[in-house]
A = this chain, B = another copy of it.
Amino acid sequence: MDFSYSSKVKELEERLQGFMDAYVYPNEKVYEQQLGDSADRWTAVPPIMEELKQKAQSEGLWNLFLPDSEFGAGLSNSEYAPLCELMGRSLMAPEVFNCNAPDTGNMEVLVRYGSEQQKEKWLNPLLEGRIRSCFSMTEPDVASSDATNVEARIEKDGNEYVINGRKWWSSGAGDPRCKVAIVMGKTDPDADRYEQQSMILVPLDSPGVKIERMLPVFGYDHAPHGHGEITFENVRVPKDHILLGEGKGFAIAQGRLGPGRIHHCMRLIGAAERALEELCIRVQKRTAFGKPLSSQGVIREWIADSRIEIEQARLLTLKAAYMMDTVGNKVAKAEIAMIKVVAPSMALKVIDRAIQALGAAGVSEDFPLAAQWANARTLRLADGPDEVHRAQIGRLELKKYQ
């Protein structure tokens, strides 16, 4: 039983925090400013982002998410956890360090399952941060919480696959640098339930790919990244664009989701820490009814509950990471499901208290709270809604007594 980080991790943590303090936090408003100034929020990337990316890369704070040491930093999940948490404190940070979703998940899929050719064409530019990617799985017409509901078709036709379907919440699709989508669809609707689906690489400039609209999250457009609704109409790609092989879609999705989920949770812990910090600073500055907000008992309870909930969520996330590292994602599935339920709800509660403590400022653009809240809210839905994870946890628990 040892709750301390290794010196390697501590050193990385310190450097990353230094970078956040020096370059990220001071540029959050700059990023927003540059984005707002551009004629169209979807055609240009704020220049500050590319500047910061270069700096992060030059300092070796790059691709830290990737456990593979040939392509990435080679950190285990539990080593990456405190670093990913730090990045989660700022919505713009993950991209600065080339650690943002869904590119991280897509890169990991390519590392694990991509052919040499696929790696050369898509993985390398992604690793270098030159292009972006999206992941097209969710569909507007079915309950996507049940992955077997997917209706998009991927049909072989000679040396090509033909893709038809409507996807939405393809996050990142709005970015002018976004060049490729990993699309999930059915190659064989008659196969076994978990072997009907495949994943395939689709260049976004393929004829028949149309971004119908960018979907807002609450009132945020999340430009230039964004969330695309995309139609694929008789889109043709060479047959070597398939990933791993026909019928492997579900298996790849399972492999992809473990790390994807835990990264989200790590970042949410960082977002909650930042919110608690904003709260604590603010309530010591403001006075109402004759005493500082910080000396009101009710606000101290908010702080205490927030600290407690953050600590517990972090420990459970670290435990899940430790299990992924030691016994594998499959055995750790209950723990992964648990943090996927815990972390978003925890973050929502902590951020909401901070909003309440800050008053109207909290719902505005002056603090990162409202935007972080909206982001956290989507994570009670993305990668499986809470209730699906809860059902799985319940099922696994019951099995112990059968």
Residues of A in contact with B (beta carbons under 8 Å apart): 1-6, 78-79, 138, 140, 142-146, 149, 168-169, 215-221, 276-277, 280-281, 283-284, 286-289, 293-294, 296-305, 307-308, 311-313, 315-316, 318-319, 322-323, 334-335, 338, 341-342, 355-356, 359-365, 370-371, 373-374, 377-378, 380-382, 385-395, 397-398, 400-402
**B304 with A360: CB separation less than 8 A:** no
**A360 with B342: CB separation less than 8 A:** no
- Give the docked Cα–Cα distance between A124 and B287 (Å): 40
**A219 with B370: CB separation less than 8 A:** yes
**A393 with B308: CB separation less than 8 A:** yes
Q: What are 25 residue pairs bridging A and B, where the CB atoms are less than 8 Å apart in the complex?
A: A1-B6, A1-B79, A3-B318, A143-B293, A144-B360, A215-B364, A217-B363, A218-B370, A283-B398, A294-B398, A296-B387, A298-B390, A303-B398, A304-B338, A304-B392, A304-B394, A308-B342, A311-B316, A311-B338, A312-B315, A315-B315, A315-B316, A356-B381, A359-B385, A363-B374
CB contact between A373 and one of B1, B218, B284, B335 (< 8 Å): that residue: B218
Q: Which of chain B's residues have a CB closer than 8 A to the CB of A142?
A: 286-287
Q: Which of chain B's residues have a CB closer than 8 A to the CB of A380?
A: 356
CB contact between A363 and one of B2, B299, B370, B381 (< 8 Å): that residue: B381
Given A219-B371, A298-B301, A312-B316, decide whether A288 and B365 contact each other with a Cβ distance below 8 A: no
Given A218-B218, A219-B218, A304-B394, decide whether A297 and B294 contact each other with a Cβ distance below 8 A: no
CB contact between A149 and one of B277, B288, B297, B386 (< 8 Å): that residue: B288
Q: A218-B218, A284-B402, A296-B387 are in contact. List 8 more A-B contacts (CB 8 A).
A: A215-B365, A218-B220, A218-B370, A219-B371, A276-B397, A301-B387, A301-B391, A360-B381
**B78 with A1: CB separation less than 8 A:** yes
A28 to chain B, nearest CB (A): 15
Please name the residue on chain B nearest to A355 by beta carbon.
B377
The 9 lowest CB-CB distance pairs between A and B, nearest first, are A219-B219, A300-B394, A219-B220, A297-B297, A315-B315, A304-B393, A146-B288, A312-B312, A304-B390
- Give the docked Cα–Cα distance between A114 and B200 (Å): 69
**B359 with A143: CB separation less than 8 A:** yes
Q: Which of chain B's residues have a CB closer than 8 A to the CB of A365?
A: 215-216
Q: Which of chain B's residues have a CB closer than 8 A to the CB of A216?
A: 219, 364-365, 370
Given A1-B4, A393-B304, decide whether A360 and B219 contact each other with a Cβ distance below 8 A: no
Q: Which of chain B's residues have a CB closer than 8 A to the CB of A286?
A: 142-143
Please name the residue on chain B nearest to A6 by beta carbon.
B1
A192 to chain B, nearest CB (A): 16
A265 to chain B, nearest CB (A): 13
**B341 with A397: CB separation less than 8 A:** no
A266 to chain B, nearest CB (A): 14
**B138 with A281: CB separation less than 8 A:** no
Please name the residue on chain B nearest to A280 by beta carbon.
B401
**A145 with B300: CB separation less than 8 A:** no
